[in-house]
Amino acid sequence: MIQSAVENLNFLFTTVWGPNNPPRSNKEVATSVRQGTKTYPGVPINETDLHKFREGDKAALTETELAAIASYFGLPRNYFEDESIASGVNTELQLLARLRQAGISSSELDDLLTQIPISDIKPASDELVNIIIELHNQTTPTQRDISS
């Protein structure tokens, strides 16, 4: 399915956030983009234009603003322009979101990955995520508490 830049941005807002944190707000993202990243040192953007874009007004943001937003989320600058890049990134983000929803921390993920034969690991695959979640569920709460 081909997604628009608007759909991809809304996907980022609902998917990319840390454990126990609410999704980011327009204000938070606009403020951070204005403060800048290493690649984009301060791009003037306001939360109203960001909101308009998220509601479907594609003219509300420039290519530079979109590239700065991609940088803020740690993505390639052409994430919003290149559907093949966006599709691959979105697949990986969906799989990471499934792991987060299953309650798997990044340190726990590292431990679980050491239990999977390298031949079974395929980048960004549903099968890999299912194996990790199954291993996580087989670990008793006591074992998880001890290894943390």
Percent of the chain with pLDDT over 70: 69
Closest CA to 93 of 37, 148, 147, 16: 16
> Per-residue pLDDT averaged across 3-13, rounded?
88
**Which range, of 81-85, 105-109, 123-127, averages the lowest pLDDT?**
123-127
DSSP the chain: ----HHHHHHHHHHH---TT-PPPPHHHHHHHHHH--SSSS-----HHHHHHHHTT-GGGS-HHHHHHHHHHTT--TTTTT-HHHHHHHHHHHHHHHHHHHTT--HHHHHHHHTTS-GGG--TT-HHHHHHHHHHHHHS-HHHHHHH-
Domain 1-89 has CATH 1.10.260.40: yes
pTM reported for the whole predicted model: 0.69
pLDDT tens-digit readout, 23-79: 788 999 999 899 887 777 888 899 999 999 999 988 889 999 999 999 888 888 889
Domain boundaries, the chain: 1-89, 102-148
